[in-house]
């Protein structure tokens, strides 16, 4: 028996058009990190289960495990906008249940170092005295950091 004939005897599952890579791209493009989660520095994974009807539409989205702070609602919004392809099986209207993980990760803000240290002069900023250079940086979690780079000067 040929493989194609065998496949006709089995119910084929719903799939996202374009495969897993297309699904990941869709989620990355649609994800809007909730402001409350950004302020609190919340990161994690929201696990969801949902149903895909015979037309490929998603419904009955439920959170299995969430992280709160608006991330659960955002994950539900994204999954509700998904559209699946459902192969015809025996001319029956079949729905499917699926699970998905939506990852929430904050991007690190990196401030590049200057290419050269400023030269010391008579009207120099007090932050830059004694052969040191201070760089201020803020992260997305409202935490600020001060980095001080000290340069050694050789005595003549």
Question: In this structure, what token pair is assigned to residue 13?
Answer: 């599952």
Mean pLDDT value of segment 7-24: 86
146 has a pLDDT exceeding 80: no
Domain spans of the chain?
12-104, 109-156
The CATH architecture that domain 12-104 belongs to is: 2-Layer Sandwich (3.30)
**How far out from the chain centre does Cα 54 lie?**
29
Most confident of the ranges 29-38, 80-89, 90-99, 136-145: 29-38
Query: What tens digit of pLDDT does each residue of 66-93 get?
Result: 999 999 999 999 999 999 998 887 778 8
The whole-number pLDDT of residue 105 equals: 94
What global pTM score does this model have? 0.64
Lowest mean pLDDT among 8-12, 16-20, 122-126: 122-126
Question: In this structure, what token pair is assigned to residue 148?
Answer: 């001080």
On whether the CB atoms of residues 35 and 96 are closer than 8 A, the answer is no
């Amino acid at each position: 028996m040929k493989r194609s004939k065998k496949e006709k005897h089995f119910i084929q599952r719903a799939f996202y058009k374009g495969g897993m890579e297309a699904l990941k791209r869709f989620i990355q493009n649609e994800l809007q990190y909730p402001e409350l989660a950004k302020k609190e520095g919340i990161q994690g994974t929201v696990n969801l289960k949902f149903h895909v009807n015979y037309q490929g539409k998603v419904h009955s989205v439920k959170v299995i495990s969430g992280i709160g702070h608006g991330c659960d609602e955002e994950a539900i919004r994204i999954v509700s906008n998904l559209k699946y392809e459902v192969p015809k099986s025996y001319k029956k209207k079949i729905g499917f249940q699926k699970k998905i993980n939506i990852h929430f990760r904050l991007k690190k803000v990196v401030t590049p170092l200057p290419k050269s240290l400023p030269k010391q002069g008579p009207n120099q900023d007090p932050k830059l005295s004694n052969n040191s250079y201070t760089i201020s940086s803020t992260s997305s979690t409202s935490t600020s950091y001060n980095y001080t780079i000290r340069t050694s000067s050789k005595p003549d």
